[in-house]
Amino acid sequence: MYTKQVKTKIVNPKSNTLNNKILNNKPIEQSDLSLKDRFLLAVVNGEIGRVENSGVIVSLKEFKAHFNDITSDYINSFLPAATIEPGQRSVTKTKYVFRVKKGLYLVHPEVLEGYRR
């Protein structure tokens, strides 16, 4: 099985294994990361999404194509579940995208700051 190595520092207090790898300068495997981490790293690295004046826009179709290793229905519900409720503007641990229209999401700029190198 092929796993892509990601060389970046991520602070994820829920994962002692990940934190140990970071502290010991060991490569981080895709399997070490949550889908949220993988998604946000892909956005920051320019692998998915397009940059517009309002920020980075990601389509559900593009998301599903990029994360084709996920075979469960979770792939269909990930972005909708991460959507910030209408009228709200702040990021939470689980809400960090705005729904622009059906199948199109704007990534909140604040959530990307922790993933930039």
pLDDT of 23: 61
Residue 78 in any domain: the answer is yes
Q: Is residue 70 part of a domain?
A: yes
Structure tokens at 60: 């559900």
Task: Tell me the pLDDT of the chain averaged across its residues.
Answer: 81
Residue 7 has pLDDT above 70, yes or no: no
In a domain, 30, yes or no: no
Q: Is 115 a domain residue?
A: no
Q: Residue 28: pLDDT above 80?
A: no
Our count of domains for the chain comes to: 1
Which has more pLDDT, 85 or 23?
85
Q: What is the domain range of residue 96?
A: 49-110
Q: Encode burial over 28-50: b for 16+ CB neighbours within 10 A, e otherwise.
A: beeebbeebbbbbbbbbeeebbe
Is residue 22 assigned to a domain? no
- The more confidently predicted of residues 19 and 49 is 49
The confidence score (pLDDT) of residue 106 equals 96
Dump pLDDT digits (tens) for 61-108: 999 999 999 888 889 999 999 999 988 889 898 999 999 999 999 999
Is pLDDT at 8 greater than 90 in this prediction?
A: no
Integer-rounded Cα radius of gyration of the chain: 14
Residue 40 within a domain: no
What CA–CA distances, in Å, run from 108 to 5, 13, 30, 32, 72?
A: 25, 21, 23, 24, 26
Tokens in use for 111?
A: 């959530």
- Give the residue from 56, 54, 29 showing the smallest Cα distance to 43: 56
The number of C-alpha atoms within 13 Å of 66 and in the hemisphere containing its C-beta is: 18
Note the pLDDT of residue 21. 58
**Residue 7 placed within a domain:** no
Which of 17-31, 38-52, 57-71, 92-106 shows the lowest per-residue confidence on average (mean pLDDT)? Answer: 17-31
Query: What's the pTM value of the predicted model, to 2 decimals?
Result: 0.74
